[in-house]
Chains A and B, each alone.
Chain A
């Protein structure tokens, strides 16, 4: 069984972002970049499946400019076998990403695609579901547990009301939630080894995908700042303020 994992280059999760002064976008100059945390969980899950004997090969794909090869190498160091870089400008819309991935899925004949549920930059939470739609695969989104049973996969999903387990016919698409696993750290020997693992490059045009613009970004602004309020000295004072000043209880 072949698994495809997608990885996205995003800002490092611990970085504080700034909005550009002309409000055109977020300023990413000199900002530390990293593997999107949800994608890291996806890579870890696929590698564990291979270690357990459920999967035979873990393929990793990233879409973006040259720099995203760094994230593909990171995934290879974590245990993925082979990389595909689809070269485009740094950021394209989820529907275009899904179209590109659908082509890769068709070419590689994978049984399972594991993606992060969202990237921590655009926070869209769309690509996995869109890929599932375009390939007519079932989807197990926001996964906190995955179990392979023959040609089916059971996915426990974190939903607003609690947990839900769905059984999907493979090939299937799964998107990861935070509690699916705790990703390992890549060891130095594995980082060295990853440099020699195969990584091929392609483009949307070569895959037969026409990149289309569906939305236009008009402006990006900083959110309204909340001002720090006052410190109260005691529980009694707190209750008094909530009752008579804020009038919320």
Chain B
């Protein structure tokens, strides 16, 4: 029994979520290996080899894997699958894109969004936007799954590094190409890795007002998120969305500003350790999950908060 984790990275750095996945994989039991597939990504493999609990790193470095296109990646992973009982990826847009394709090629199911490992074949996952938790037993010989990083602590890193094995299979399905990418650059921590998140909703009024959240975030070293309503209204780009279909986060502190607390938003943040809600509507459902609620006009509270922090 051994688990292969498909690493989340951007060819330059290994994302923090991989540490959470190593921890989740170690609960399954057996060896844990990590596949770094990309282009010019040796440096990523180097950092992967220093994660405590990883027995081996596989490096597939080729232009065909540069953008981790599902059509090419799935072939590579299926090729490696014969040595593994479990194939695991983070429940990010990368993992969600690739893993069902892998599962179908192997004629097995995929278990999505695992939040708890009960044994090597039994896992818990949220359904109905997190309003119910299903415990599911896999009947397949190979378990293919995506795992929610925020539900597991991160594994540690060490100075010692394990062996990096080069995989030289190159699969190019030739049916898809990446032609453009708009990557949002930010000095702030990533939403899914941040300890503190300040999020704005429709109550922010417009995109410019998000700069008021930035000021608070700067003081706290926080990431800035948004509700679906704020993204739909065009205030901020989609990569900031926290919620059922956006990013799932569980920071130490989540400050929801001008967010009413729709079910689909709560699904993305209700596992945060401490939740603060700032909203002028006392009846807003967000207060039902908030540890600390402040009923006030956010345009008064935010400058005050930035000032006093």
Contacts and interface: CB of A to CB of B under 8 A. Distances in A.
Contact of B122 (A122, A126, A165, A218): A218
Given A130-B101, A133-B101, A238-B276, A214 B132 contact: no
B136 A17 contact: no
B295 interface: yes
A70 B79 CA distance: 42
Interface string A1-43: 0000000000100001101000000100000000000000000
Interface stretch (B27-35, B39-47, B104-112, B205-213): B104-112
Contact of A218 (B135, B176, B273): B135
Contacts of B131: 16-17, 222-223
A213 interface: yes
A204 to B, nearest CB: 16
A53 interface: no
A186 B107 CA distance: 39
Contacts of A26: 127-128, 132
B135 to A, nearest CB: 4
Interface residues of A, number: 78
Given A121-B128, A166-B69, A241 B292 contact: yes
B294 to A, nearest CB: 5
A246 B291 contact: yes
A215 B137 contact: yes
Contact of A160 (B92, B100, B196, B220): B92
A138 B67 CA distance: 14
Interface in B253-285: 253, 263, 270, 273-276
Given A26-B127, A223-B131, A213 B173 contact: no
A95 B245 contact: no
A248 B74 CA distance: 41
A222 B132 contact: yes
Interface residues of B, number: 88
Interface in B120-163: 122, 126-140
Most A C-beta atoms less than 10 A away, residue of B92, B99, B292 = B292
A235 B136 contact: no
B290 A228 contact: yes
Interface residues of chain B: helix, strand, loop or mixed (majority): mixed
A133 B276 CA distance: 43
B252 to A, nearest CB: 5
Contacts of A133: 74, 100-105
Most B C-beta atoms less than 10 A away, residue of A26, A118, A137, A161 = A161
A87 interface: no
A197 interface: no
A14 B220 CA distance: 35
Interface string B187-228: 000001000100000000000000000000000100000001
Given A94-B109, A223-B130, A164 B237 contact: no
Contacts of B70: 129, 132, 139, 141
A126 B100 contact: yes
A161 B93 CA distance: 9
B305 A217 contact: no
Given A216-B137, A235-B305, A130 B253 contact: no
User: Nearest 7 A-B pairs (CB), nearest first?
Assistant: A214-B109, A129-B100, A229-B291, A130-B104, A133-B104, A126-B100, A138-B176
18 contacts: A26-B127, A120-B129, A124-B110, A126-B110, A127-B100, A129-B98, A132-B101, A133-B100, A138-B176, A139-B71, A161-B184, A167-B178, A178-B245, A218-B137, A231-B294, A236-B308, A238-B276, A242-B276
Interface of A: 11, 16-17, 19, 26, 93-95, 98, 117-118, 120-134, 136-139, 141-142, 144, 154, 157-169, 172, 177-179, 213-223, 226, 228-232, 234-236, 238-239, 241-242, 246, 248-249
Interface of B: 10, 67, 69-71, 74, 92-94, 96-105, 107-113, 122, 126-140, 173-184, 192, 196, 220, 228, 231-232, 237-239, 244-245, 247, 252-253, 263, 270, 273-276, 287-295, 301, 304-305, 308-309
